[in-house]
């Protein structure tokens, strides 16, 4: 009646709101809860009507709408609570900023007073002892004040960083929830994707091939079942590739570092192909070695089963994406029923899948986008899935340009589904900043549970046996310079020897065996560090009496107490280890230790020097020792997590060497590492409150 009185129609009002007529009808009939802006505009329309009987009271309408919002579990009511939390977080950040500014001013004044006292003390060196003692006491007091103020400044900086991190996460969560409540995302997140997937997918030939391969590789039924569930839940959250109207969806899977996410991706791709997706684009990250590994994995695990259409690979292990003309089959999709769109079930059953594994390189992405624009098949008919394996290792500056290029790819593919894989909830992939809003997981998040047998940050600084004299089981604090680095390299050799000893007794292989040295970001000092490592290695003298004595001392004081406590297999004495030590030293001589600035690790025994930013592209299989060189900045925190993963058979041998920074001011690298782990777990808990159900990692 109100629309008739205002001269409007349902269809015309829907166009004004950017909605479908059916959506407006459902809102007006109370079948769906409308968003705030719809109610506000409706009140405005009603307010312009003539004074007629039955016109609703705007205040009562707003009150009823708010009550309905708050009654929605996990959505509107949670949004209101989030808004309050964001207001509190902003105040906390402002207070932390103010406190930091005050402490910095106090520190400046203390340093000035200390300098004046130093000059006064120098002038009194030839005067009486009593006067000197007075000024010495003043000097000591000022020194204590300086140390106290510096500690307070470090604390306020950490509080400010934590407040800002919490604020970013809360704002991201609010954005996600608000977007879910719109017509586009709200109905999908409520379970609609699941309703299309199971009835539409009668058989899973590609998944069945992968499942058999994993079974042949001794995967347990429980591991396969967990992978099955995770991949089903992920593909269920995508839109129906056969739907008449194209729908884009964007989501994220949050796992753990080195916890099998490549296998997760492979299972998702297999089931997406079985479901009808015919264009698969996998973004591998900026490093060619990692791209080749992902390409190889997909080539081996995605063989077309009998009776199914082919999977055309537009990239190969030896080359990245080139151009359409050079690719076998190109991007021309086959149709058996030419009068029907490609996404018609009859055409999807006969059309081959195009698989592209491309580095996250701006030039290559732009080239691919240009090629997609040229193909003859209408782009709104192509069911496409974009899997981003590098969603959390790209810097903000890189995301700005890459995010724009990927946004264009998504824009020209109306049926594109974006799935990002991240290994930490602190990932930039869960931020909308710096032009990355297009990749934000508006529609769903899958939170992978911590896998059984996983070795991560919390294990790094677990307590050592009380009788050992060590503080931590796996973290060693050493002085910077050659002495600390030599100890870490000695541990690299010793742990290889222990692995070889266990291999001889049937306890698994010791290769690959790797050590990671985290150095500075700039190339010149990184090259200097490489030279330092090579010189130390050449002068280690592992086969001399002095070198053997050094290794024996480290074996007895470090490896023995920890491995015995964690029930790791060890020889009864260092002398019993010597044959295995000779084996690995001979092996290292045959395969020279490779000191690389990036990920090109060709040998199975390597000491790799890398900046923290490059660690995301490294192959960390067999990584046993991590050494943190100066500077030990906060940027190195995610990089240290590279030692995480399934260290089956040698978990007791993992060691992390960090700078020995005393003072107890809460600002050491170990303090930051602990805070990073706490924040990681806390934010996973926050995400769990609105993410889809947890999934066990396979």
- The pLDDT value recorded for residue 691 is 53
Whether 548 has a pLDDT exceeding 90, the answer reads yes
Whether 4 has a pLDDT exceeding 90, the answer reads no
- pLDDT confidence band for 264 (50 / 70 / 90): very high
Length of the chain measured in residues: 698
**Tens digits of per-residue pLDDT, 134-151?**
555 555 665 666 666 656
Per-residue tokens: 193: 């994707």
Respond yes or no on whether the N-terminal peptide bond of residue 259 is cis (omega within 30° of 0).
Answer: no
φ/ψ of 181, rounded to 5, equals -85, 0
Of the listed ranges 45-49, 139-143, 221-225, 586-590, the one predicted with least confidence:
139-143
- The pLDDT value recorded for residue 424 is 77
How far apart CA 46 and CA 39 sit, in angstroms, is 10
581-600 mean pLDDT: 69
- The pLDDT value recorded for residue 273 is 94
- The pLDDT value recorded for residue 192 is 42
200 vs 440, residue with greater confidence = 440
Per-residue tokens: 329: 């089959």
Per-residue tokens: 637: 């925190």
Whether 695 has a pLDDT exceeding 50, the answer reads no
Strands 623-628 and 311-313: unpaired
Per-residue tokens: 19: 């909605």
Q: At what angle do helices 261-275 and 221-236 cross, to 10 degrees?
A: 60
Whether 378 has a pLDDT exceeding 50, the answer reads yes
525's CB contacts (< 8 A; 6+ apart) are 519
Of the listed ranges 154-163, 452-461, 683-692, the one predicted with least confidence:
154-163
Whether 646 has a pLDDT exceeding 70, the answer reads yes
> What's the pTM?
0.67
Among residues 626, 598, 589, which one has the least CA distance to residue 484? 626
Among residues 230, 266, 259, 252, which one has the least CA distance to residue 426? 252
- The pLDDT value recorded for residue 489 is 92
Whether 376 has a pLDDT exceeding 60, the answer reads yes
Whether 184 has a pLDDT exceeding 50, the answer reads no
Opening angle at CA 677, ends 418 and 619, nearest 5: 60
- pLDDT confidence band for 692 (50 / 70 / 90): low
Among residues 410, 679, 642, 629, which one has the least CA distance to residue 522? 629
Whether 636 has a pLDDT exceeding 60, the answer reads yes
How far apart CA 192 and CA 330 sit, in angstroms, is 34
Among residues 675, 676, 658, which one has the least CA distance to residue 476? 658
Give 622: exposed, middle or buried? Use CB within 10 Å, 0-12, 13-18, 19+: buried
- pLDDT confidence band for 382 (50 / 70 / 90): very high
- The pLDDT value recorded for residue 340 is 92
% residues pLDDT > 90 (the chain): 17
**Tens digits of per-residue pLDDT, 501-545?**
998 887 677 778 888 888 776 767 777 888 888 888 888 888 899
459-487 mean pLDDT: 83
113-119 mean pLDDT: 64
396 vs 455, residue with greater confidence = 455
Mean pLDDT across the chain:
75
Are 514 and 623 within 8 A, CB to CB? Answer: yes
- The pLDDT value recorded for residue 413 is 93
- pLDDT confidence band for 693 (50 / 70 / 90): very low
- The pLDDT value recorded for residue 328 is 40
Q: Is the dihedral of CA 82, 85, 91, 97 positive or negative?
A: negative
How far apart CA 251 and CA 180 sit, in angstroms, is 12
- The pLDDT value recorded for residue 434 is 46
């Amino acid at each position: 009646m109100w629309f008739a009185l205002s001269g409007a129609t349902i269809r015309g009002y829907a166009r004004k709101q950017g909605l479908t007529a059916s959506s407006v009808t459902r809102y007006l009939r109370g079948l769906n809860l409308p968003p705030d802006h719809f109610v506000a505009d409706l009140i405005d329309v009603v307010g312009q009507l003539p004074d007629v009987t039955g016109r609703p009271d705007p205040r009562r309408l707003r009150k009823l709408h708010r009550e309905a919002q708050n009654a929605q579990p996990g959505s509107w009511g949670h949004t209101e609570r989030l808004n309050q939390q964001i207001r509190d977080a902003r105040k906390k950040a402002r207070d932390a900023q103010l406190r930091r500014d005050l402490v910095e001013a106090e520190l400046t004044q203390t340093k000035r007073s200390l300098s004046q006292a130093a000059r006064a003390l120098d002038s009194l060196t030839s005067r009486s002892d009593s006067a000197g003692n007075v000024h010495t006491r003043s000097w000591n007091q000022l020194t204590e004040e300086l140390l106290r103020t510096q500690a307070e400044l470090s604390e306020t900086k950490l509080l400010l960083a934590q407040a800002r991190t919490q604020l970013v996460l809360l704002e991201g969560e609010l954005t996600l929830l608000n977007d879910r409540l719109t017509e586009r995302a709200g109905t999908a997140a409520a379970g609609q994707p699941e309703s299309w997937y199971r009835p539409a997918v009668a058989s899973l030939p590609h998944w069945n091939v992968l499942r058999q391969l994993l079974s042949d590789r001794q995967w347990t039924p429980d591991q396969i079942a967990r992978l099955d569930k995770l991949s089903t839940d992920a593909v269920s959250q995508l839109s129906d590739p056969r739907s008449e109207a194209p729908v884009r969806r964007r989501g994220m899977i949050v796992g753990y570092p080195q916890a099998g996410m490549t296998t997760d991706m492979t299972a998702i791709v297999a089931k997406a192909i079985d479901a009808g997706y015919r264009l698969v684009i996998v973004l591998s990250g900026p490093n060619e070695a990692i791209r080749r590994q992902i390409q190889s994995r997909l080539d081996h695990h995605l063989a077309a089963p009998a009776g199914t259409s082919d999977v055309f690979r537009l990239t190969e292990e030896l080359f990245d994406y080139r151009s359409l003309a050079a690719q076998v089959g190109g991007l021309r999709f086959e149709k058996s029923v030419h009068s029907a769109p490609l996404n018609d079930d009859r055409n999807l059953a006969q059309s081959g899948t195009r698989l592209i594994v491309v580095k996250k390189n701006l030039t290559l992405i732009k080239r691919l986008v240009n090629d997609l624009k040229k193909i003859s098949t209408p782009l709104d008919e192509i069911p496409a899935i974009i899997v981003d394996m590098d969603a959390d290792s790209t810097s903000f500056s890189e995301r700005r340009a890459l995010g724009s290029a990927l946004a264009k790819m998504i824009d020209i593919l109306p049926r594109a589904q974006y799935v990002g894989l991240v290994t930490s909830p602190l990932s930039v992939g869960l931020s909308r900043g710096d032009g990355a809003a297009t990749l934000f997981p508006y529609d769903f998040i899958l939170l992978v549970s911590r896998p059984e047998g996983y070795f991560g940050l919390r294990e790094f600084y677990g307590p050592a046996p009380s009788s050992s004299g060590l503080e931590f089981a796996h973290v060693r604090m050493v002085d910077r310079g050659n002495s600390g680095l030599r100890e870490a390299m000695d541990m690299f050799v010793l742990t290889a020897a222990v692995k070889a000893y266990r291999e001889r007794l049937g306890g698994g292989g010791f290769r690959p065996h790797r050590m990671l040295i985290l150095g500075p970001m700039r190339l010149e000092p990184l090259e200097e560090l490489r030279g330092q490592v090579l010189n130390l290695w050449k002068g280690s003298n592992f086969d001399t009496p002095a070198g053997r004595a050094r290794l024996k001392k480290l074996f007895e004081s470090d490896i023995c107490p920890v491995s015995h406590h964690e029930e790791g297999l060890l020889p009864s004495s260092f002398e019993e280890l010597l044959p295995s030590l000779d084996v690995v030293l001979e092996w290292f001589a045959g395969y020279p230790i490779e000191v690389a600035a990036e990920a090109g690790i060709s040998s199975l025994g390597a000491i790799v020097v890398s900046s923290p930013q490059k660690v995301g592209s490294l192959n960390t299989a067999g990584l046993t020792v991590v050494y943190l060189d100066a500077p030990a900045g906060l940027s190195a925190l995610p990089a240290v997590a590279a030692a995480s993963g399934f260290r089956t058979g040698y978990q007791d041998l993992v060691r992390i060497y960090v700078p020995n920074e005393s003072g107890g001011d809460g600002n050491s690298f170990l303090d930051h590492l602990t805070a990073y782990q706490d924040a990681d777990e806390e934010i996973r808990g926050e995400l769990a409150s609105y993410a889809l159900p947890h999934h066990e990692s396979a």
